[in-house]
Amino acid sequence: MASPAPTTPEKEKAVPAKVEILSIKSLGLIKAWEESEKTKVDNKAKKKFSNVVAWELSKQATIDARQKKYELKLEKKKALYVEKMQNKLAEIHKAAEEKRAMVVEGKRIEHNKVGKKADDFREVGLVPKKILPCFNY
């Protein structure tokens, strides 16, 4: 019959016995396999890291291009707005010049009227009734 399964203390003794049985060549192969697997993991991680960096750069370039597009659009809007405001300023200046001319013309007309009245008073020989409020008799 088969012997019963070893108990826990026997298992602990069995594992170190197997380790002692492994030859130096086997240990070297295991170490080489371990290094190879670690290298594979490192290479995969580097590749994934590189992909993340490339993804980030492409997204950043997309955002930068979109930002530049909006900046150009805003620049155009700003230029149109500035031109519109300058046109309004020119219109205001023109209207002010016209109003100044009207005031000057009104002043000239009023001076002419006063001059004509003064001539009329001189011809008739009368003194105007309202010279100054303090000189009214």
State the Cα–Cα distance between residues 45 and 50, nearest whole angstrom. 8
Q: Long-range CB contacts (< 8 A, 24+ apart) of 111-116?
A: none
User: Does any domain span residue 79?
Assistant: yes
Number of domains in the chain: 1
Residue 123 token pair: 């011809």
User: Does any domain span residue 28?
Assistant: yes
The whole model's pTM is what?
Answer: 0.48
State the Cα–Cα distance between residues 111 and 104, nearest whole angstrom. 10
Residue 82 token pair: 């500035």
User: Does any domain span residue 113?
Assistant: no
User: Does any domain span residue 80?
Assistant: yes
User: Does any domain span residue 21?
Assistant: yes
pLDDT one digit per residue (tens) for the chain, 137 residues: 455 555 555 555 555 555 556 688 888 889 999 999 999 999 999 999 999 999 999 999 999 999 999 999 999 999 999 999 999 999 999 999 999 999 999 999 999 999 999 998 888 888 777 766 665 54
Q: What is the pLDDT of residue 5?
A: 53
Q: What is the pLDDT of residue 37?
A: 97
Q: What is the pLDDT of residue 1?
A: 46
Q: What is the pLDDT of residue 27?
A: 86
User: Does any domain span residue 49?
Assistant: yes
* Exposure of 30 in the CB half-sphere (CA atoms within 13 A): 7
Contacts of residue 14, defined as CB under 8 A and 6 or more positions apart, other chains included, come to 6
User: Does any domain span residue 50?
Assistant: yes
Domain that holds residue 53: 16-94
User: Does any domain span residue 54?
Assistant: yes
